Amino acid sequence: MTLIVLGLLFIVSASLFIQFPELVKSLKTNDEIQWKLLGSPTIYGSSKMISVFSWVLNRGYEKSPSPEVVVLGQIAFKKALILKYTLMIGVVFILLGIALALFNQFY
């Protein structure tokens, strides 16, 4: 049960930090076409940050004509990797907790 709660904490904490306000601001001013393709995310909006998150993880910022977007994208990429692995650790903890709970129930 502890692993499940710990996994949920990892997932919730990572989900709360999926925000890239500087990158979104720079996209809006320097690369408006890409900003619109990402769904016109707001600076601190959480519903459309998933598209920005996956765009950053896929290194979409490297194709931007704006050097500022590229630099901010590289910074956001490091943060996105940490968040990705935090989410993955949370899922692994939840699965491990469920597996251990089922194993202990049968033995």
Most confident of 24-28, 33-37, 87-91: 87-91
Region at 20 (left for phi over 0; alpha for psi -120 to 50; beta for the rest): beta
pLDDT on residue 58: 96
Instruction: Spell out the residues 6+ positions from residue 38 whose beta carbon is closer than 8 angstroms to its own.
Output: 27, 48, 51, 52, 55
Q: Where do the structural domains in the chain lie, given as residue ranges? A: 2-106
CB of 26 closer than 8 Å to CB of 68: yes
Instruction: Spell out the residues 6+ positions from residue 100 whose beta carbon is closer than 8 angstroms to its own.
Output: 3
What gap in Å lies between CA 67 and CA 27, rounded to an integer? 11
pLDDT surpassing 70 at residue 9: yes
Q: What is the pLDDT confidence band of residue 104, given thresholds at 50, 70 and 90? A: confident
Find the mean pLDDT for residues 95-104: 92
Q: What element of type H or E holds 16?
A: helix 2-16
